[in-house]
A and B are shown apart, each in its own frame.
Chain A
């Protein structure tokens, strides 16, 4: 299954569910252990509390652009893993590995990031050694 098809299915499942007004959400919302690799274009990187989040746009096989929101922890928590205020810039390509929401909506929690220059950043709270440039 391509990412595009996967995204399409995921979004369709999400639209089927009644939307819930979200507040700060639970870790139980994530499908722990499941991993999705998303490659897309950075739209916005918000470096804030209680969570930082990355919005990326992914074009599906049909040409539809789907926006995903991938969150991570607060700035002080992700700093050791190498995440900074200017880590992501709009328009740049990025590949992220996430744990998606269980309910199928296009949300997730960042497990790993690969920047356009190949730099890899690890999971929130991991030590700086996780931030190593790709060979």
Chain B
């Protein structure tokens, strides 16, 4: 990665020393029975009085939506363009994009269908892929980094992805995958990501080579995304406790022009916070469906 001069940061010692002061403050505020620290969503707002400078070239930390635990859910569509039927939120679909959208039967959004008639790949626990993980129940998200990469651990479904920062090139999109060194490589749910620091507090990542439109959606309202997308994410460290996570998609196959999907402020949490698992289990999902199906038929739950 050009311009990368961040000292090596391991998972174990990656949190800036300054964060220890924050952690000490949190100890008195957040219950940690037996040392198992619960998430603290009652943090005081960042003001001029308590604002601390951002560390240089570091995204490391456990981050949660600054607006609260539900602020990153995006059930009604991507954060900046919810699928609510308003003119300003209509998307610049290509003819294929519109056709794909109409073929998606989502449970959320302006064109939602009734349960049981949907075809959201989420409902069979398929991986959501990039960029949908950025738009699906974004809650406490951990970011680690070393001199070669930034790693994002999503809470939902315990998924993780790597953004390489060692200077490697962004692969070239090709039909059916990407070209790396002239060789065609496979499509991936998380694609191929590289990133770089554009200044000491702004990190930009790009992702290509994602799964095709018959495997993944953009959001929970059935908006499409294709394997020709270039996802550009910007992580701007506003201050020590605040990170703004933005995303723009450029997908000429389904959208006529690039557009911004989210600009999500994230708040730093105690790095010792214990996260409960938040997974998609086919067997638990099946049990859930059976319970509701049984009651729907007037039999009562089994």
Contact = CB atoms under 8 A, between A and B. Distances in A.
B284 A48 contact: yes
Given A20-B116, A46-B291, A14 B155 contact: no
A20 B107 contact: no
A53 B31 CA distance: 26
A27 interface: yes
Interface residues of B, number: 44
Given A20-B115, A22-B289, A75-B278, 9 more contacts: A11-B298, A21-B289, A22-B116, A26-B114, A28-B107, A46-B287, A49-B281, A50-B288, A79-B276
A23 B291 contact: no
Nearest to A26: B107
B35 interface: no
A128 B38 CA distance: 10
Given A46-B287, A46-B291, A125-B70, A76 B276 contact: yes
Contacts of A67: 295, 300-301
Size band of the A side of the interface? 35 or more
Determine chain B's interface SS by DSSP, over half rule. Answer: loop
B75 A44 contact: no
28 contacts: A11-B298, A15-B298, A20-B115, A20-B116, A20-B296, A21-B296, A22-B115, A22-B292, A22-B293, A22-B296, A23-B115, A23-B123, A24-B120, A24-B285, A25-B292, A43-B301, A46-B288, A48-B284, A49-B278, A49-B280, A50-B280, A51-B288, A55-B301, A67-B295, A67-B301, A74-B278, A76-B139, A128-B38
Interface of B: 31, 38-39, 41-42, 68-70, 75, 107-108, 112-118, 120, 122-123, 139, 155, 275-281, 284-285, 287-289, 291-293, 295-298, 300-301
A131 B279 CA distance: 25
Q: Which of B39, B108, B280, B292 has the most CB of A within 10 A?
A: B292
A107 B295 contact: yes
A133 interface: no
A92 B69 CA distance: 30
Given A24-B107, A27-B75, A48-B287, A80 B69 contact: yes
B292 A107 contact: yes
A117 to B, nearest CB: 20
Contacts of A6: none
Contacts of A22: 115-116, 289, 292-293, 296
A94 to B, nearest CB: 16
A51 B277 CA distance: 13
Given A50-B285, A53-B288, A24 B123 contact: yes
A2 B46 CA distance: 49
Nearest to A44: B301
A122 interface: no
Contacts of A55: 291, 301
A21 B280 contact: no
Q: Which of B120, B287, B298, B300 has the most CB of A within 10 A?
A: B300
B148 to A, nearest CB: 31
Nearest to B278: A76
Contact of A23 (B39, B69, B116, B297): B116
Contact of B155 (A15, A76, A107): A76
A15 B280 CA distance: 31
A23 B289 contact: yes
B31 A76 contact: no
Contacts of B41: 80, 127
Contact of A127 (B42, B280, B285): B42
A26 B288 contact: no
Contact of A128 (B31, B120, B155, B278): B31
B108 A27 contact: yes
Interface in A56-78: 67, 69, 74-77
